[in-house]
Amino acid sequence: MDGPPAGDFCSICHGSFNIPCQANCSHWFCGSCIMLVWDHGSSLQPCKCPLCRRQITLLVPSEASARQQSNPEVARILNNIRTYNHHFGDNSAGLIQRMQDLPFLLRRLLRELLDPQRSLPLVIRARVYIAMVLSVVYTLSPIDIIPEAMLGVFGLMDDIFILLICFLYIAAMYRSVLYYRHGGS
């Protein structure tokens, strides 16, 4: 989905989306509305999502919003979003924040990998594929750190741990792509 769901509305202004942006918690807001939430809070910390109360550390404008940059109002709001992402987009609050961001980042990455119109750099694509192949090979191979045959369900823990590390690595890599695309320098 490149924009908010059809028939949905901004949970801040309760109106139709104007310059829709998706937060790292997967909720959609008007760009101007979420910037107002940040402006009315501390400018030194990321704002919290009005719906789920998670810290918003990355805002991704819809493709349609990015194409309207010739409009001065849209350009001003997108510049504010870039500033926000510059302040908070490169740092993640820790492992819990990264685990919470994992579904959002992996869904967007999968959509971008499957869409031939998207321009994900070849280096990033190659690193994603290599990480996925290596983790699948390790998980399916009979050679394990903790063998399943001897320890049963407990033996699956190393496989799950390897897959989790792989997904966290891929999500962190894609987060940096989004950060540089929508706010980094």
Per-residue pLDDT at 183: 63
| pLDDT of 142 over the 90 cut | no
- DSSP letters of 59-105? EEE-HHHHHTTTSHHHHHHHHHHHHHHHHHSS----HHHHHHHHHHH
Listed ranges 85-94, 95-104, 146-155; the one with the highest mean pLDDT: 95-104
Helix (H, G, I), strand (E, B) or coil at 157: helix
Q: In sequence order, what are the residues at sequence separation of 6 or more whose Cβ sits closer than 8 angstroms to the Cβ of residue 51? A: 11, 25, 27
Q: In sequence order, what are the residues at sequence separation of 6 or more whose Cβ sits closer than 8 angstroms to the Cβ of residue 34? A: 12, 21, 23, 47, 56, 59
**Pick from 102, 55, 91, 101: nearest CA to 176:** 91
Per-residue pLDDT at 49: 92
Global pTM value: 0.70
**pLDDT-based confidence at 41, cuts 50/70/90?**
confident
* Arithmetic mean of pLDDT, 157-176: 84
Per-residue pLDDT at 34: 93
Per-residue pLDDT at 149: 65
* Arithmetic mean of pLDDT, 128-143: 81
What's the chain's average pLDDT? Answer: 82
| pLDDT of 93 over the 70 cut | no
**pLDDT-based confidence at 94, cuts 50/70/90?**
confident
pLDDT higher for 74 or 111?
Answer: 74
C-beta separation of 83 from 46 below 8 A: no
Per-residue pLDDT at 33: 93
C-beta separation of 158 from 144 below 8 A: yes
pLDDT higher for 43 or 110?
Answer: 110
Neighbour order of strands in the sheet with 59-61:
28-30, 20-23, 59-61
